[in-house]
Chains A and B, each alone.
Chain A
Amino acid sequence: MMAAGGGAGMRGKVDDKSVELFLGKLLRWGVLLAALVVFVGGVWFVAESSDVPQNYRAFRGEPADLRVVPQIVDQAIALRPLGLIQLGLLLLIATPVARVLFSVLGFALERDWMYVVITLLVLALLVYTLTSRSGV
């Protein structure tokens, strides 16, 4: 999958091109799914509150159930419109994370352990930002 990365000798076992095409499709479907969930939640949210005066001038910060991953999932399962939008945004944030995860597998298949470690480091940072208690 490392199209321009390794020399010809490092490939062989994995068909780079087909993995890249698969990844591209995966990312596009991920974005479309995220957009669909955001759209459904959005239409619902606007329908419920269309007459409410709205501006985002004053910063209040979101409540915990719209900023912590397990609680967002709970809100979405309970079919709260704002919870659905937030779940869609989470799916969207997950698309580049998924790409990094698949890169770990790709480098492992090529037995390029240095890059398995480098990619795992990036993956760990991404997971940390989404799960750290304090939000850094």
Chain B
Amino acid sequence: MNTLELTLVIALGSFLAGMLGSLTGLGGGVVIVPLLTLVFGVDIRYAIGASLVSVIATSSGAAAAYLREGYSNMRVGMFLEIATTVGAVSGAFLARYLHTSIIAIVFGLVLLYSAYTTTQTLADPPAGMAPDRIATLLRLDGTYPTDDRLKSYHVRNVPIGFGLMYVAGVLSGLLGIGSGAVKVLAMDQAMKIPFKVSTTTSNFMIGVTAAASAGIYLRRGYIDPGLAMPVMLGVLAGALVGAKILPGAKVRTLRIVFGVVIAALAIEMIFQGVRGKL
């Protein structure tokens, strides 16, 4: 293919990934790397660089809508950001020394986990829990608006959440994804933060974490402008269109379809990684 054809098909594929990612709430970043490596044969390092850029675009692009709702907890976000940015630096460091086949296999496993999360429905933690000592010390507890009043919540298990966030950061820096699934695991499951608060806070954190990794990838020469250009523009446009048509979409069916696609890509990534083809 020549430059024009390749740019157009990559932009189209990225548009679809961005739209599906926005409609299902899973983010487009998670399928960009398999799309580029498996379908277009792009080197996995270039693919990760381009993916990171698209992750920042969707995170910052969606922030305006999230901030208006007033759910995000900036103290929780900023405190955990220490873990994710340090993790991102560690992940980017690891990426330099791990063989690309191993990165592909790890990627496939994380994809499988993401596919599994599409089958889960998240419930808010029970109300009326006692305050946690560390959370109180760090002033992490907060409130969020409901229909009639401000509802307060207590944050739990801060060390476990912090540790999981470090893992999310490592995966982000190593694989070029937002690690939204692991972030939700840390905030919803471990720290017992209400669903609305954790998703909006996680959106902000994804952008900051990806920026830490992207800085390193850029300095290292892994971000190719010719490739990152159609990926970033495609994913961003897809995410915007997805957000527009979201109210009328059959999200449940889409989540299942997207989950199956992700699982198939995961198995192919692992297979190709084991064969040493990526």
Q: Which residues of A contact B (CB under 8 A)?
A: 1-6, 16-17, 20-21, 23-25, 27-28, 30-31, 34-35, 38-39, 41-42, 45-46, 49-59, 61-63, 66-68, 82, 85-86, 89-90, 92-93, 95-97, 99-100, 103, 106, 112, 114-115, 118-119, 121-122, 125-126, 129-130, 132, 134-136
Contacts and interface: CB of A to CB of B under 8 A. Distances in A.
Contacts of B68: 20-21, 24
A17 B197 CA distance: 16
Contacts, number: 239
Interface string B67-88: 1101111111011011001101
A122 B46 CA distance: 26
Nearest to A129: B215
A56 B224 contact: yes
A3 B89 contact: no
B14 to A, nearest CB: 13
A66 to B, nearest CB: 6
A45 B93 CA distance: 31
Contacts of B40: 55-56
A54 B220 contact: no
17 contacts: A5-B75, A24-B66, A39-B233, A45-B3, A46-B4, A52-B3, A58-B43, A59-B46, A61-B220, A100-B81, A118-B79, A122-B78, A122-B81, A125-B85, A125-B86, A126-B208, A135-B216
B208 A122 contact: yes
B172 interface: no
B53 to A, nearest CB: 6
B61 A28 contact: yes
B3 A135 contact: no
Contact of B2 (A21, A51, A132, A136): A51
B232 A96 contact: no
A97 B215 CA distance: 11
A101 B116 CA distance: 36
Interface stretch (B15-23, B24-32, B138-146): B138-146
B227 interface: yes
A82 B221 CA distance: 13
A89 B233 CA distance: 11
Interface in B142-171: 142-144
B225 A28 contact: no
B60 interface: yes
Given A27-B64, A92-B232, A6 B139 contact: yes
A117 B211 CA distance: 20
B63 A99 contact: yes
Contacts of A45: 3, 225-226, 229
Contacts of B230: 42
B249 interface: no
Contacts of B183: none
A125 B212 contact: yes
Nearest to B219: A135
Contacts of B41: 55-57
